[in-house]
Amino acid sequence: MRIIDPSWVCPQIEQVDTDPDTGFTLDRYMIDDPDAVPRTIEVPNPECKIPSDAREVEDENYRALMAAQGVQPDGQPSATIQPSESGHPVAVFPPPETVEQTRARALVGIRRNRAPLLDALNGIASRAARAGDAATAEASDAAAQKLLNITVLPAFLAATVYDEMYAAIMDEYRAIADDAPASVKSAFIEVLA
């Protein structure tokens, strides 16, 4: 930041006070020149949050760096911004996921999305059992068991990329819903919408 140079001394000008009636000089003295422009110097700003070794980044590069930190279209982890050997910021992406890591990430989503379906099917089975509708209760329990087995589905285990894994699971959701009576199929409406 720029501040007035502490060693700068304002130039002086003579001030003359006169008697307004007679025009006689009453007093002479020196004052700071009100028109003087002080000399300034640049000093570090103690409030500044920008590191002293920061590098200026062009707008286009800045936008690219910010975009690299966002969610990647393939679901892969996003980049971190790190300094290059020259000290300029660059986007550094983690190494690509292994198939096992992708499958583990997919399983987290599958289990999260499956939980409300299992709750809905459990509710349908409970209501059907209380109403004496054994067929609906059994169909709901069978659909729930298929959902529990969905993580060992051969098509899911054979998939090597996230989109294929997701597609295999969605196909199985559709197959389970298609095999179920309408009262059980209602649990799948939101997932398949």
Residue 157 has a pLDDT of 94
Quote the distance between the C-alpha of residue 147 and its chain's center. Answer: 32
Residue 176 has a pLDDT of 93
Residue 74 has a pLDDT of 60
- Whole-angstrom distance, CA of residue 90 vs CA of residue 74: 21
State the number of CA atoms in the 13 A half-sphere of 118 facing the CB: 13
Cα distances from 149 to residues 100, 116, 146, in angstroms, run 18, 16, 5
Paired tokens of 171: 């196909």
* Full-model pTM: 0.54
- Classify the C-alpha dihedral 84-87-90-95 as positive or negative: positive
Residue 169 has a pLDDT of 93
Ordered per-residue pLDDT tens for the chain, 193 residues: 889 999 999 999 999 999 888 889 889 999 999 999 999 999 888 888 888 778 888 999 998 888 888 766 666 668 888 988 888 889 998 888 899 999 999 999 999 989 999 999 999 999 999 999 999 999 999 999 999 999 899 999 999 999 999 999 999 999 999 999 998 998 888 777 7
**By three-state DSSP, how is residue 81 classified?**
strand
- Whole-angstrom distance, CA of residue 142 vs CA of residue 134: 12
- Whole-angstrom distance, CA of residue 165 vs CA of residue 105: 10
Quote the distance between the C-alpha of residue 28 and its chain's center. Answer: 69
